[in-house]
């Protein structure tokens, strides 16, 4: 399952109202650590297809959404379950740590 780009307009429908856990990657094109973690996030989208929805929010294009969730550093990965934040990871993180969080929410 591919990553889904979300905006302020569709965030509630795609993330908060999801019937499965959601990983939201807050990122920017100019961010080195964001580019480093992107293949890991993409791999999680493929490996957890149907069990974990993976969404991406470009903070340069969706500044209000980033402010709404208190994003002060990127990449920030927010894990949502049942409409609320279940976990938060800031900065580059190894795949096994993200898998452990995902597995705990499924």
Report the catalytic residues.
31, 34
For 24, 34, 75, 86, the CA distances from 30, given in Å and listed in that order, are 18, 8, 11, 27
Q: How far apart are CA 48 and CA 14, in angstroms?
A: 16
Q: How far apart are CA 2 and CA 55, in angstroms?
A: 9
CB 74 within 8 A of CB 59: yes
For the beta carbon of residue 83, count every other beta carbon within 10 angstroms.
11
């Amino acid at each position: 399952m591919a990553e889904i780009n979300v905006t302020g307009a569709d965030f509630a429908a795609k993330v908060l109202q999801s019937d499965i856990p959601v990983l939201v990657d807050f990122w920017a094109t100019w961010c080195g650590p964001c580019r480093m973690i992107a293949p890991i996030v993409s791999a999680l989208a493929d490996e957890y297809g149907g069990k974990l929805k993976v969404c991406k929010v470009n903070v340069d294009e969706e500044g209000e959404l980033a402010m709404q969730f208190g994003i002060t550093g990127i990449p920030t990965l927010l894990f949502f379950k049942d409409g609320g934040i279940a976990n938060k990871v800031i900065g580059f993180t190894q795949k096994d740590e993200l898998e452990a969080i995902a597995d705990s929410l499924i």
